[in-house]
Structure 1
Amino acid sequence: MSSDMELHTVASLLRRGQSLDQFSTGLTLLAALIGLGQWLVGSIDPWLLLLSFGVFVLGMQEKYLAFRVAFDADLFQIVADAGKPLTERTQALDTALANLGLQPVERGGRSWPERSHGSMRLLRRQAWVVAIQALLTVSFVLASPWLVFSGLGV
């Protein structure tokens, strides 16, 4: 992956994580509101509370992954935009990351295909967390007691 265009492409793909993050934020807020809303209604169902808590915890995990994916997207973009030779840019990036304590010195010098695979793995993990969060939210909504009152529940 020595081409600047490939670095730009990876950066662009990683920026798609922002859409996942926005969707996850909505699910997390919904879970928090519905979970807390059980106390307002006066009907606390332990299963619904557990589902709400699970969606919320997954939302916090997704926030961490979204931060990491966005950081990687920015790094790929910066390296792709720099006008210097790629080896010089890579060495400068590794030095900066090591100086900030964000990467062990021995991890420096990795190839760009290896770095892009690692970053894409983070993006896939973020997508999986959001998918599980969405499934739990659907389960939460289908198991909610207000469906009985609306005539939709069993």
Structure 2
Amino acid sequence: MSIDMQLQVTASLLRRGDSLDRLSTGLTLLGALLGLSQFVLSNPGVWGVTCGSGLLVLGLWQKYWAVRVAFDADLFQHLAQRAANLDERTQALDQALTALNLQPADRSDRPWNQRIAGALTLLRRQALLVAAQVLLTLVFIFAGPWLAVAG
């Protein structure tokens, strides 16, 4: 597979992070509402505050990875569209990232397969955090009524 097609496919995969981010944003808002509702009630439950706080923390952590994934998606898309002189563009990219302190100078000149693998690792981290949010939400939905009865 040519490098321009690899860059294009990678950019397309990384753009899926936007869907994950939207789901996570909804779950984070749910966590915020859940946490706030516990304080509005006269008897705030530890379970609700814990789940709400967990959803908030996971959501903010996911948001960090979402920003990084979106940044990489834009870079890969830009480079895929102009892959004719990729070596020159790669050097220019490395210089720009180093100048903005977004990449250490010793990480320049990495092959594209390592860059692609690194970008996909960021997407996996983002997906794992969203999965943790979904799992915590499901635990709260299914275990919450029993915990409320148990006291």
Unaligned runs of 5+ in 2: none
- Cα shift at 1:2: 5.0
CA deviations 1:83-109 (Å, max 9, x no partner) are: 541111110100110111111111000
**Structure 2 residue 16 is matched with structure 1 residue 16:** yes
**Structure 2 residue 58 is matched with structure 1 residue 52:** no
Distance 2:114 2:87 in 1: 15
SS in 2 for 1:144: helix
CA separation of 1:128 and 1:53: change in aligned 2, threshold 3 A: same
Distance 2:12 2:74 in 1: 9
Is 1:2–1:112's contact at 8 Å kept on the other side of the alignment? Answer: no
Q: How many residues align?
A: 150
Single out whichever of 95-104 and 39-48 deviates more from structure 2. Answer: 39-48
Runs of 4+ residues deviating >3 angstroms: 143-149
Distance 2:119 2:43 in 1: 43
Letter in 2 for 1:18: D
Distance 1:63 1:24 in 2: 8
TM-score normalised over the length of structure 1: 0.90
Is 1:28–1:55's contact at 8 Å kept on the other side of the alignment? Answer: yes
Is 1:32–1:53's contact at 8 Å kept on the other side of the alignment? Answer: yes
Which structure has the highest helix share of the two?
A: 2
Distance 1:43 1:29 in 2: 22
- Cα shift at 1:145: 5.0
CA RMSD of aligned residues (A): 2.1
Is 2:91–2:109's contact at 8 Å kept on the other side of the alignment? Answer: yes
- Cα shift at 1:143: 3.5
CA separation of 1:4 and 1:83: change in aligned 2, threshold 3 A: closer
TM-score normalised over the length of structure 2: 0.91
Unaligned runs of 5+ in 1: none
